[in-house]
Structure 1
Amino acid sequence: MSEPSTPLIEPVVLHARQRLRDGREKIRKRHDEGATGPQICAQITELFDRVILEIWNDIVTKQNARETASRLALIAHGGYGRCDIAPYSDVDLMLVPTRSVANAVQPLASALSRGIVDAGMQLGFSVRFPAEACKLAWKDPVIFSSLTESRLLCGSFHVYESFFETLRHGTMRRRNQLIESVQEARREERAKWGETNYLLRPNVKRSRGGLRDLQLIRWIGFACEGETELDRLVKLGSLPAGDYTRIRQAQAFLLRLRNELHFANGRSQDVLDRPTQMKIAEKWGYEPQEGRLAVEMFMQDYFEHTRNVRYASAYVYADARRSSLISRVFERVVSRRVDESIRVGPYHVWVVDRFLPSVAGNLSEVLRLMDVANRYSRRISHRTWQAIRLAMTNRPPGEPDAAAVRSFLSLMGRPGRLAELIRQLHELRVLEQFVPAMKRARGLLQFNEYHKYTVDRHCIRAVEAATQFESKEGPARERYRRLGDKLMLHLSLLIHDLGKGFEEDHSNVGKRIAAETADVLGLDEAASETLQWLVHKHLIMHYAAFRHDLNDPQIIAKFADDVGTVERLELLTLMSLADLTAVGPDVLTDWKEDLIEELYSRTKAYLETGRLPGQLSPQAIRKRDEIEQLLSSRSVSPLAHELLQQLPEPALLRPTIEFTANLLCETVAPLADGGTAPTICRGRFDASRGAIEYTVVMQPKAQPIGIFARATAALAACGLSILKAEITTLRDDWIWDTFLVEDQGSTANQDEHIRETGERVARMMTSGKPIPSQRKLWSSTVQSEASKIKLQPAEVSFDNDTMDCYTILLLFAYDRPGLLASISSVLANLKIVLHFAKIDTHLDQAVDVFYISELDGTKITAEERLQQIRGALLEAVDHVNE
């Protein structure tokens, strides 16, 4: 029996397919030669028109359907109807027939959709009667937004005009409902693809400030005026002329960028990932400048354009909304007068109409209004703000006068709606008149996987994070509320990272920026000195808390000496917490916050009483006494009591009393019967840190070199990612090391899984056999991107000044599975004694700190030896990255 024959593709479709392929290639060459984004989109639209019409006309002829075709309209809509379609985007078509040809249209529709798909195009297709299409549009914001961009491709103009005029007039009658509907749909899309236009892997179409927000202006314009073309909206007063100029420039940039992404991938692609950013920056001729990479210059342009789109779309949406007459009357009736020009209502603050022209163009008056808004925690009304925005946009920049400075300082000293108001000042380009360095930082990318926002965005978010302490449970709230004048904290956070983008260390540059800002703001000498110190030293708490042993008196004494006073310690602690919060989601983890609070409490105790670590806190002493009582009730060996007395504070406070007591009993039990010291690895889930903590206990037979390496290798072999490691030696001959890990292999029976993993680690450590390689895990998108770009090479540095007894080794590298195991193995092979280790990982980055010495206990100072260690470590890092 013969196979059923495959339907032959029509010759017209084969011709259309070849025309499409050749046409795209020709247009790509024009793109590479420098044609603008709108020009390329217009050429793609023209190509698609020719291909589709060629197929349509062939179908109409072969089906002898010219009479039917004259009574329907073939309509392009969406991006295709708008004529800004990208090279590999879907084409959206709608066939709109009259009732008289309803029965005859289906064969045409089926043949057309099949022919377009066979020609190699992605198709969105529907057949709707005019009234049906309008009703669907008014119910569904996605359909509505697409049909507002309708364009007649062929067929009856009368049918098209009837449909589109019905849509237009019906939309304007439903304007409020449809505006809120498309805005909500856009809000949901932004939440999925990126609520802020400063995301560092943006979707150029869907992220905030992207092409979709440009289109939102058109859709709102259609609801209000029945028009989508931007130049018409300017003439109708719905779009300011200044915004029109800026968003036309943004449109050209974004369309060109989207075309580049499509051509480079040979398919629809709208995500601008890190490797692609680098390639485009080079292709488009960007050059590095003043310590900034070429890719950072390119992305700064991207952020400038998306910012302008975001501002314009927000303006159009706010201007189009109509609050009810009742709500407007209510707010004005219950409002009260601040002075003759400003009134405050339950929700808004505004300028009285007759004073609005004079206030809007006066910087001092605008700052005074914002200070009032912050003091009463009210929004500035839309009418007042739009008048200010238009006036300030046309105002030439200049130095603020004394009154403006006073209002700015008053504004910065209170939480209220401070972050929102700072963003508005930044939008107006007024903020840079008070903080000149903000101008250079606008849209400045930090090209790493640690920061999620640009420099200016991060600094404003840091201020916002500080103001949110007021409503956040915990010690930060009490500390924040104790600050009478919050000016220094807010101002230092606003400028703390503005020194980035230079060759010199950003903290040193930041100190000079702080001095310059203090001069502009007329701060006195004491305030200027405090501001400079906070900006210059804003990272020292992170370094001390995350990279050093907080049980070491030397570390606390040195940090306290740097800080000097409890007042500065309070400011620096709040600054450190706010800075980490502003970096990105989930950066300030519970255990990082605990480390900062631990450093704060130890330093404060030393500054106030002179008490240094080594003297346990009352809480730790109480817990040790409870463990002591539990051990006494079990009649264990005196060795257990002796080890307990030497446990450091974290080992006493973090686990439960039962966990520590059981571990001590298990450690000494074999020795009571004359046996050998066991190797034990026990784990527990730490809910406060969302990770598992394993404790390894053993008594080495010789110098404890290589034990840490075997422990990290064993943990890695079990598929565990090490977040933190702490080394402790008890009684000079017992190892008590703890490892905080993430376990992607956790099961429903977590306790049993943790127990089995601990036993496996202990067996591998004592087997004497080579430990198998770590389990291969699927890498994340972030890790794969980092492996492609590798902009920041691994760094190894040594510090022989901080500690009297040890050399401090600091390693920065892209984190990979097995990295810590490889590093510790290198140190063991070099006969380096490891006394303390602290691991700090975030996303793709690891900062590992080790206190090391030679076998004889001396510091490592010989340059030749240091170079040997550095070379071996860098080689190991490169090997892990391969």
Structure 2
Amino acid sequence: MAAPSLSEIVLRCRERLQEGRERCRIQHDAGSRGVQVSARICDLYDDLVLEAWNHACLDHFGGETPRGIALVAHGGFGRRDLAPYSDADMMLITRARSTADAERIAKSLTRDLVDIGLDVGFAMRTPAEACSLSWRDPVIFTSLTESRFVAGSFNIFRSFFESLRRGARRRRSRLIRDLIEARRQEREKWGDTNYLLRPNVKKSRGGLRDIQMIRWIGFARYGEVDLERLLKFGALTDNDYRLIRRAYDFLIRLRNELHFREGRAQDVLDRPTQMAIADAWGYEGGDGMLPVETFMQEYFDVAREVRYASTFFADDNRSRPIISQAVERLLSKRIAQGVRMGPSHIWVEGAYLESFATDLAQVLRFMSMANHHRRRIGHHTWQTIREAMQTRPPTRPDAESIGAFLSLMSRGGRLAPLLRRLHELRIIEQLIPAFRRARGLLQFNAYHKYTVDAHCIRAVEVATDFADEQSAMGRRYRRLKDKTLLHLALLIHDIGKGYDEDHSVVGARIARETGELLELDPGSIEILEWLILKHLAVNTVAFRHDLSDPQIVLSFAKEVGSIRRLELLIVHSVADLAAVGPGVVTDWKMKLVEDLYLRTRRYFETGDLESYDDSVVRDYRAQVKTYLVDEPEQAMSRKLLANAPASMLRRVNSEDLAAQLIEVGRSIDDGEKSLCISQYDPVASAMRYTVVHDQGENRIGVFARVTGAFLSCGLGILRAEIDTLGDIVWDEFWVSDPDYPDEPPLRRIEKVCDRIKHLLDTPEAPLPPQRSTWSLERNRESPQVNILPTKVDFDNETLDRYTILSLFAYDRTGLLYHIARAFSQLHVVLHFAKIDTHLDQVADVFYVSEENGAKLEDYDRQEQVRQALLEVVSGDK
């Protein structure tokens, strides 16, 4: 009988693959366990691979199986935990004399499988080559530990796998060390915390890869990857085994869901998908929490369990040099009853360990000692504590436990890692009950990278790191004699999130309750409550207001009240900001924070709001003036310098500002109304455009035309600062250019500047249309996840001359232009603005007035402006 043609094989198997995936999806949607669906997917892959294998054998060897060749599945295919669109990793193991036959099989097999629609990873090796590569590359080793026989010669497969097993056990110390290091590097890339807001369910910390690492280390140490066998060997505890099995099934099912939803390999759990899965899987909210928050809290619980089990398994099986262990014990000394301390570790002696581990007060005192002496807790000691605390029923802490906790909180050192351990054991929430709700709580913005609890502990870590910095913030942190309140405030500053009420107000109430539970004195409770209530005040004032205005500083100083509180609040604010995520603290932001601190401290010390500006600004003007000549051709430049507000000065160095003043003065003398100056800012990785325009009496619409020019060129405005010098508008814009991630070429800059000048000089000219752009981003967030409310607030109390209008919203393309156009249509005059865009959020402040110079004080007028801006933000205009 003639063999069927290749096209018939491919077409038949393609149809089987499509139908098989659909049946698996139906089984998945019906609520089947993740491991069952994955096993069925693997069976489907096996059937297709065997059909392609049999066709290759029929085509080349008349249906006979060639001798000396084995087809092996490895990686996820070998492990049989495939997701619907996973790769099929395979290898042909061949004797040297069978290489030619193997090459013919390999060519036919890979061609057919790719044509069928499988993503195939394929290699051909002799047993010796495969083992040799495994010893050199931990990635290859981990994949081959999961090898499974598929077809061909079982004797060849058995010979290879036994050689791999024996060789691994002989090299176990080095292999385990390399495995742990390779996993550490992978975690750094995909997320070295199990509390990421957009986790990779396979590669982020606490994901499937950490479970797989247990299997791989088990193979190197015991020659086994099966978790049940590792349990029987005593390598896993009963509790860890149960936790891992539960977590494994949850993560496998979740990964299957991601693949089915995308119709492709997808392991990143982004925010729109989180919400969709929570709804599809029937999660319910409650107690002010959304269903998606309940779902993600379960995910984070699972990831935490996996992280701990895999970390302890790795520590148990990592070889430590006998000499270093002996030195550690030889040089140790007893520092308390049952407690010894060596050069790098601290531990509890065996005779005391069992009773010690169940006593919360003793555990907290022990951790405080570890922090005080900056020693790591011995692995065996911590493992015993962990197991004891997991079975200990939660109880209200006694006075001794509270005292030990406060002692721990009073020092920096390794405080943050110890708090993470206490959090994982659910001890923090016994001391601070409100912390339970923050566990794994989402933050619905791209600004934050971590969950609420992870962010709070990270903020503590940032603050304690200040101790080693030779910076102004480091000096302020070290000046705090008692750091307990700072550390405690950072630990709880955001646990008011997730309620309908403002999280600072809720957090302040929680702070008072916490202070009373921890038996703090009334003065300390009052400061703790105030710190939480005002923890956003520094960012609000520094980043959104004109710090050269004495009224702004005076208002802030009244909220703060003293130098001690100022220093606490400044350190708290910077630590909080830095803990949001990488790249959030910029030189620009730190400069503004430092400026606010110095102005406020000077006021507390002298009672004079003007002295700071008088000295600093006077000196700066003098520096700039040295670059200007006392000649008629620079008279306008000198006049501009004399009239420049303090808010405009010190944006750039004195020499650059002088150059700008000379250029602006020359253009005004030549009768030009508009000027655009460009400079690349490497710190912000953005182009900085300085736009100067003589607006005369027409003060409406200038800002809208400039932002419209940027929008029409396809540029995104990251930051802006707007000032006026009489009739002259002097605006600074930092913009991103999607066409040029680095500094754009001169022709591009000239095009942008020409567009801006044309639109300003010809106000009757229509604005060009917004440039259309294509985006290949798959992870762009859906509007449904933007659940934080848009805010438009009016403040007529702080300033005598202007209304302060504050806007919080989620960003979208052209938003600033549409806001500016709304101001123009409403005949609202813009005098000063600070625009700050970070990822998906904008937080903008505008100093505005009516055309006649009056504030926007009428309620109906405010509502008119508010509704117009809300329509702009929602996209209705």
Common topology (TM > 0.5): yes
Is the CA contact (8 Å cut-off) linking 2:270 and 2:779 kept in structure 1?
no
1:99-154 CA distance string (max 9 Å, x none): 67555444334333333333322222333333332222222212211221122234
* Residue in structure 2 matching 1:855, options 841, 851, 872: 851
More deviation in 317-326 or 743-752? 743-752
* Residue in structure 2 matching 1:733, options 724, 727, 737: 727
User: How far 1:748 sits from its partner (Å)?
Assistant: 6.2
In structure 2, the CA distance between the partners of 1:66 and 1:868, relative to structure 1 (3 Å rule), is same
CA distance in 2, matches of 1:546, 1:615: 19
1:497-550 CA distance string (max 9 Å, x none): 011111121111111221222122211111111111111111111111122221
Q: How does 1:321-360 map to 2 (within 5 A)?
A: 321-360=318-357
* Residue in structure 2 matching 1:265, options 262, 265, 270: 262
Cross-structure match for 1:697: 692
Is the CA contact (8 Å cut-off) linking 2:673 and 2:761 kept in structure 1?
no
CA distance in 2, matches of 1:636, 1:782: 56
Is the CA contact (8 Å cut-off) linking 2:722 and 2:732 kept in structure 1?
yes
Cross-structure match for 2:509: 512
DSSP 3-state at the match of 2:648: helix
Q: How does 1:445-460 map to 2 (within 5 A)?
A: 445-460=442-457
User: How far 1:651 sits from its partner (Å)?
Assistant: 2.6
Cross-structure match for 1:548: 545
Letter in 2 for 1:733: D
DSSP 3-state at the match of 2:613: coil
1:824-850 CA distance string (max 9 Å, x none): 121112111112211111012111211
Q: How does 1:263-412 map to 2 (within 5 A)?
A: 263-412=260-409
Is the CA contact (8 Å cut-off) linking 1:786 and 1:844 kept in structure 2?
no
Letter in 2 for 1:802: T
CA distance in 1, matches of 2:818, 2:420: 46
User: How far 1:670 sits from its partner (Å)?
Assistant: 6.9
Is the CA contact (8 Å cut-off) linking 2:676 and 2:689 kept in structure 1?
yes
DSSP 3-state at the match of 1:95: strand
Runs of 5+ in structure 2 lacking a partner? none
Is the CA contact (8 Å cut-off) linking 2:599 and 2:612 kept in structure 1?
no
1:182 matches 2:179:
yes
1:627 matches 2:631:
no
CA distance in 2, matches of 1:82, 1:670: 73
User: How far 1:644 sits from its partner (Å)?
Assistant: 2.5
* Residue in structure 2 matching 1:711, options 690, 694, 706: 706
In structure 2, the CA distance between the partners of 1:484 and 1:55, relative to structure 1 (3 Å rule), is same
More deviation in 127-136 or 547-556? 127-136
In structure 2, the CA distance between the partners of 1:17 and 1:717, relative to structure 1 (3 Å rule), is closer
DSSP 3-state at the match of 2:6: coil
In structure 2, the CA distance between the partners of 1:800 and 1:132, relative to structure 1 (3 Å rule), is same
User: How far 1:593 sits from its partner (Å)?
Assistant: 1.3
Cross-structure match for 2:529: 532
CA distance in 2, matches of 1:168, 1:516: 58
CA distance in 2, matches of 1:677, 1:10: 73
Letter in 2 for 1:300: Q
DSSP 3-state at the match of 1:828: helix
Letter in 1 for 2:728: W
In structure 2, the CA distance between the partners of 1:678 and 1:105, relative to structure 1 (3 Å rule), is closer
Matched residues, percent identical?
51
Question: TM-score under structure 2 normalisation?
Answer: 0.93
More deviation in 836-845 or 568-577? 836-845
In structure 2, the CA distance between the partners of 1:697 and 1:98, relative to structure 1 (3 Å rule), is closer
1:869 matches 2:865:
yes
1:606-652 CA distance string (max 9 Å, x none): 22212225862423211212334544533457665444333222433
DSSP 3-state at the match of 1:835: strand
Is the CA contact (8 Å cut-off) linking 2:667 and 2:675 kept in structure 1?
no
Letter in 1 for 2:762: S
Cross-structure match for 2:75: 78
Letter in 2 for 1:606: Y
Letter in 2 for 1:736: W
Is the CA contact (8 Å cut-off) linking 2:512 and 2:525 kept in structure 1?
yes
More deviation in 132-141 or 50-59? 50-59
In structure 2, the CA distance between the partners of 1:748 and 1:36, relative to structure 1 (3 Å rule), is closer
DSSP 3-state at the match of 1:651: coil
In structure 2, the CA distance between the partners of 1:611 and 1:81, relative to structure 1 (3 Å rule), is same
In structure 2, the CA distance between the partners of 1:665 and 1:98, relative to structure 1 (3 Å rule), is closer
In structure 2, the CA distance between the partners of 1:237 and 1:857, relative to structure 1 (3 Å rule), is same
1:281-318 CA distance string (max 9 Å, x none): 21111233233222222222212111211111111111
Letter in 2 for 1:191: E
Is the CA contact (8 Å cut-off) linking 1:68 and 1:101 kept in structure 2?
no
Cross-structure match for 1:48: 45
User: How far 1:693 sits from its partner (Å)?
Assistant: 4.1
Is the CA contact (8 Å cut-off) linking 1:668 and 1:677 kept in structure 2?
no
Q: How does 1:749-828 map to 2 (within 5 A)?
A: 757-758=752-753, 761-768=756-763, 769-776=765-772, 781=777, 784-787=780-783, 789-792=785-788, 794-828=790-824
Q: CA-atom RMSD, angstroms?
A: 2.7
In structure 2, the CA distance between the partners of 1:616 and 1:219, relative to structure 1 (3 Å rule), is same
1:561 matches 2:558:
yes
1:230 matches 2:230:
no
1:153 matches 2:147:
no
CA distance in 2, matches of 1:379, 1:32: 47
1:792-825 CA distance string (max 9 Å, x none): 4644333334334332222222223432122112
DSSP 3-state at the match of 1:805: coil
Letter in 2 for 1:170: G
CA distance in 1, matches of 2:102, 2:681: 66
DSSP 3-state at the match of 1:209: coil
Is the CA contact (8 Å cut-off) linking 1:290 and 1:501 kept in structure 2?
no
1:425 matches 2:444:
no
User: How far 1:220 sits from its partner (Å)?
Assistant: 0.6
DSSP 3-state at the match of 2:123: strand
Cross-structure match for 1:572: 569
Cross-structure match for 1:487: 484
Is the CA contact (8 Å cut-off) linking 2:445 and 2:840 kept in structure 1?
no
CA distance in 1, matches of 2:743, 2:845: 34
1:680 matches 2:662:
no
CA distance in 1, matches of 2:746, 2:620: 24
1:374-426 CA distance string (max 9 Å, x none): 11111112122112112222222112232222221111111111111111111
Cross-structure match for 1:3: none
Is the CA contact (8 Å cut-off) linking 1:782 and 1:843 kept in structure 2?
no
CA distance in 1, matches of 2:6, 2:601: 81
CA distance in 2, matches of 1:761, 1:563: 43
In structure 2, the CA distance between the partners of 1:66 and 1:508, relative to structure 1 (3 Å rule), is same
CA distance in 2, matches of 1:780, 1:155: 44
DSSP 3-state at the match of 1:317: helix
1:829 matches 2:829:
no
Cross-structure match for 1:194: 191
CA distance in 1, matches of 2:661, 2:611: 21
DSSP 3-state at the match of 1:579: helix
In structure 2, the CA distance between the partners of 1:369 and 1:544, relative to structure 1 (3 Å rule), is same
| Count of matched residue positions in the alignment of Structure 1 and Structure 2 | 872
In structure 2, the CA distance between the partners of 1:797 and 1:780, relative to structure 1 (3 Å rule), is farther
1:50-109 CA distance string (max 9 Å, x none): 333334345445655676457544332221221211112122223334567555444334
Letter in 2 for 1:135: S
Cross-structure match for 2:602: 605
DSSP 3-state at the match of 1:268: coil
Is the CA contact (8 Å cut-off) linking 1:667 and 1:677 kept in structure 2?
no
